[in-house]
Amino acid sequence: MNVGQMQLHKRLVDYKNSPITEGILDSQYLQLLGLQDESNPNLVVEVASLFFTDAEQLLNDLSRELTQQNVDFQQVDVHVDRLEGQSPSIGAPRLKNACIAFRHFRNTCQETNIPVYLRCLENMRQEFLLVKSKLETLFNLEQQIAAAGGTIPIGRPHL
């Protein structure tokens, strides 16, 4: 391994650990990494891509619902429940907690309090974007290492 590859590899190891130590990703993500092996080296990227697509759609649907003249709160609840249910698939506890906070406000606030719902939605969107940004950066580092002729460590990071 040349110096450039070693630097990229160290950045990858450090970056793989940071979302976990920051609480952005959790043990579910570690389990997902543990399922990835030589026979399925793109498992995490594939699961993350599906999660990104679905979560973005749900957030857009929520935004659209909450800006309607007559908000269909039953549909809003369905979207929040789906997003909360999908968050563990990638191990995103902060996003799941943002969904729980939305539901808490939903249970305690009047339906006419749309600004509170929009703030909760913005918090959910920010947590999603944080997860997406961390994982995309990680995937880009892996691609750089592979392009430089290095190998990507398979499995869970060493914390």
In degrees, rounded to 5, the angle at the alpha carbon of residue 53 between the alpha carbons of residues 127 and 27 is 50
3-class SS letters over 105-159: HHHHCCCCCHHHHHHHHHHHHHHHHHHHHHHHHHHHHHHHHHHCCCCCCCCCCCC
Say whether pTM exceeds 0.85: yes
In sequence order, the 6+-apart residues with CB closer than 8 A to the CB of 107 are none
Distance separating alpha carbons of residues 123 and 104, to the nearest angstrom? 14
Q: Tens digits of per-residue pLDDT, 97-127?
A: 999 999 998 888 777 789 999 999 999 999 9
For 3-148, CATH number out of 1.10.287.990, 3.40.640.10, 1.10.3720.10, 1.20.120.160 equals 1.20.120.160
pLDDT digits (tens, 9 = 90+) for 23-78: 999 999 989 988 888 888 889 999 999 999 999 999 999 999 999 999 999 999 99
